[in-house]
Amino acid sequence: MSEEQPPAKTGSSRREFLVQSSALALWGPLVGATLTAFPAWAKKQAKNSDVISSTDVSSLPLRRMTFGPRPQDFADFAKLGRTPAQQIQKYLEKQLHPQQIPDPVLEAKLTAAKLTTLQKTYSNLWKEHVLAADQIREAQKAPAVPGTSPMTMVNENQLRLQPLNELEQATWLRMVYSERQLQEVMTHFWHNHFNVYAWEPQIAPLFVQLDQDVIRPQVFGNFRMLLEGVAKSPAMLTYLDNFLNQSGNPNENYARELFELHTLGAENYLGTESRERVPGFGHGQPVGYVDGDVYEAARCFTGWKIDSGAKSTNTGEFIYFEPWHDRFQKIVLGRHLKEYQGPLRDGHDVLDILADHPGTARFVTRKLCRRLMCDNPPEAFVKKIADVFHQQRKAPDQLAQVIRAILLSPEFAHNTQPKIKRPIEFTAGLLRSAGIDFYPSDPFLRNFEKMGQRLFQWRTPDGYPDQVQKILGANSVLERWRIVDLILVNGVEGSQWNEGDFLRRHGVELEASSASDLLLHFQQLNTKVFGQSLNVTTLQEVSEFLASAKTQKLPKAVSASLALLWMSPEAQWS
């Protein structure tokens, strides 16, 4: 294992330095140190770093509010105001009102894609993709009727999965083409926060409702409302088994993850301690939760189920089923819930208690800061934002206010820690920055299974990770290189790109034969396409590559050289 030591370097760019320091914070310390430890030498080094790429640093807010800037975004963003603060504010205010942002390119793409199931009401999805599929299954069980061919039937699972497949495609189109980028970024965030593995045939047709009716419209709304929408969504009810939860011997799967992942977080979990011994319990404000709270909360959610099955009206909607509800008194986080409360009241009370708890504010806020700012946001900053979250907990635009508090803070303005792009962000960013005419074909999407990040396919309820040490392994880097070549050099179904058009669009030509002449043009691309985030040594090597490839008359030399830009270490960071 390597010992912690300062890198031997002189005159490297600030970006390179920043990346180095974060890497050493990861790799350096062994036993006894934490990942967040910032070595003393690095602070000294930071003061000495004099080569600052101003464009690079100033575009950081734009990178965090989008799935990667498109070339024209850099200039458009700069025009928004004279100071960075003005620019962020202007951009952010626009993004916080997505309905007012025209989105013609996306709309055309969506129309062309003919994603018919996404227009259906939930009730029709249930009839046409759940009940109809059930019928097919029943029919297949029955003895074959002479003269009918089972092959003429629509495949049962295809029918169930179709809405999910279409949602996946729509989501890719939105990430790449929508002008409402922050809504898309936050939708992706909340899908991971309230993770549901949607590829189960039982869940796939229900999942569209969670996306379209619950998460997407509320990403700038109120956390408590969002939480309730998720709790009542048939997809979550199924995924965490609450649709089966009934009095007597409750199923605690949902209740546990509600505490641990959706609200208070594991950081506020005090294990099997008795509830009375948790500080603050006596005042109805325990500092954290214990297993006893999980069991009691599970009782509160008994009878929260889906209207389905032979003995029901079978609408597939969320219902409260009184006979399954445990009506006796409960104690959740130090609060007594009376026996025989009205319908849904116990569950609503639990959601209120959790959404009001300062621990929830801290946990959820830390994750938001981690997404929008850096992997390990300073605790003092998290506390400050958590206060906003807590104070605004009744506000209809609570989450918009929290996002504002993060992005308009001096801490955010001074943040220089880069974030590693996750596979989806990397690829969406590539498609956006290279200006590719794109449609998410199956061969394209299957690559994400190998990267471990196909949309809505994370198995466990914790969601895809958001910290570099959990994301960036050899396979992740390898698969990025592979997909860059697929898209830019070899072609993958659904993607159209021509390097000549790309270069012309940016007024760059790579006709020269000497590396030094080529370097000037790659530098231009670095400014226009990458916001100067690439290192000059990378550009030099790419120039050498192209010069030599031309001498050897290597096929596709130009597109292969452009691919190297996106394969560089710098291009993995946001």
Contacts of 125 (CB under 8 A, 6+ apart): 117, 163, 205, 206, 208, 209, 316
Least Å from the CB of residue 229 to other proteins: 23
Asked if 538 interacts with other proteins (CB under 8 A), we say: yes
**In the complex, minimum distance from the CB of residue 62 to other proteins, in angstroms, rounded to a whole number:** 21
Q: Is 351 in the site for other proteins (CB under 8 A)?
A: no
369 binds other proteins (CB under 8 A): no
Residues 55-84 interacting with other proteins (rule: CB under 8 A)? none
Binders of other proteins among 413-472, rule CB under 8 A? 420, 449-452, 459-460, 462, 468-472
Write the DSSP string, 523-549. HHHHHHHHTT-S-HHHHHHHHHHHHHH
Query: DSSP strand E in 404-526: where?
Result: 437-438, 495-496
Closer of 89 and 253 to other proteins (Cβ):
253
Strands 495-496 and 437-438, by their bridges, are: antiparallel
Q: Cα(305)–Cα(120) distance, rounded to whole angstroms?
A: 22
Residues 46/28, Cβ–Cβ less than 8 Å: no
Rounded least distance, CB 251 to other proteins, Å? 5
Binding residues for other proteins, total number by CB under 8 A? 88
Residue 552 lies near other proteins (rule: CB under 8 A): yes
SS3 251: coil
Q: Are 221 and 398 in contact (CB under 8 A)?
A: yes
Question: What residues between 493 and 532 interact with other proteins by CB under 8 A?
Answer: none
Examine residue 162 and tell whether it contacts other proteins (CB under 8 A): no
**Closest C-alpha to 236, from 264, 262, 210:** 210
Residues 6+ apart with CB under 8 A from 134: none
The residue within the footprint of other proteins, chosen from 118, 139, 287, 554 (CB under 8 A), is: 554
Nearer to other proteins, 178 or 360 (CB): 360
Q: Which listed residue (392, 398, 572, 574) binds other proteins by CB under 8 A? A: 572
C-alpha distance across the termini of the chain, in Å: 28
Q: Is 273 in the site for other proteins (CB under 8 A)?
A: yes
Looking at the Cβ atoms of 192 and 469, the one nearer to other proteins is 469
Among 88, 369, 489, 519, contact with other proteins (rule: CB under 8 A): 489
Q: Which amino acid, residue 278?
A: V
User: Cβ closer to other proteins: 86 or 274?
Assistant: 274
Give backbone dihedrals phi and psi of 58, rounded to 5 degrees, phi first. Answer: -75, -20
In the complex, the smallest distance separating the C-beta of residue 404 from other proteins, rounded to whole angstroms, is 30
Q: Which is nearer to other proteins, 9 or 44 (CB)?
A: 9
What is the nearest approach in angstroms of other proteins to the Cβ of residue 63?
16
Which is closer to other proteins, CB of 119 or CB of 272? 272
Among 481, 496, 516, 517, binds other proteins (CB under 8 A): 481
At closest approach, how far in Å is the CB of 522 from other proteins? 12
The footprint of other proteins on residues 245-264 (CB under 8 A) is 245-246, 248-253, 256, 260-261
For 501-540, b/e burial (b = at least 16 CB within 10 A) is ebbeebebebebeebeebbebbbebbbbbbbbbbbbebbb
Q: Confirm if 86 and 80 have CB atoms less than 8 A apart.
A: yes
Q: Which value, to the nearest 10 degrees, does the dihedral of the CA atoms of residues 38, 41, 43, 48 take?
A: -150
Nearer to other proteins, 253 or 401 (CB): 253
Q: Residue 326 interacts with other proteins (CB under 8 A)?
A: no
Residues in the chain: 574
- The CB density around residue 499, as the number of other CB atoms within 10 Å, is 19
356 contributes a contact to other proteins by CB under 8 A: no
* Residue choice 142, 272, 311, 410 for contact with other proteins (CB under 8 A): 272
Site for other proteins in 21-60 (CB under 8 A): 22-24, 26-27, 29-35
State which of residues 4, 7, 287, 411 lies at the interface with other proteins (CB under 8 A).
7
Residues 325 and 317 sit within 8 Å (Cβ to Cβ): no
The answer for residues whose C-beta is within 8 angstroms of residue 397's C-beta and 6 or more apart is 220, 221, 222
Asked if residue 287 binds other proteins (CB under 8 A), the reply is no
Q: State the minimum distance, in angstroms, from the CB of residue 148 to other proteins.
A: 31
Tokens of 414: 């001074």
Adjacent-strand bridge partners of 320: 304
**Position 231 contacts other proteins (CB under 8 A):** no
Q: Does 563 bind other proteins (CB under 8 A)?
A: yes
Phi, psi of 145 (to 5 degrees): -85, 130
Q: What are phi and psi of 332, to 5 degrees?
A: -125, 125
Binding to other proteins by residue 364, rule CB under 8 A?
no
- Name which of 403 and 436 has its Cβ closer to other proteins: 436
Which of 143/555 has CB closer to other proteins?
555
Per the CB < 8 A criterion, the answer to whether 106 and 115 are in contact is no
Q: Note whether 48 and 13 are within 8 A (CB).
A: no
User: Would you count residue 475 as binding other proteins (CB under 8 A)?
Assistant: yes
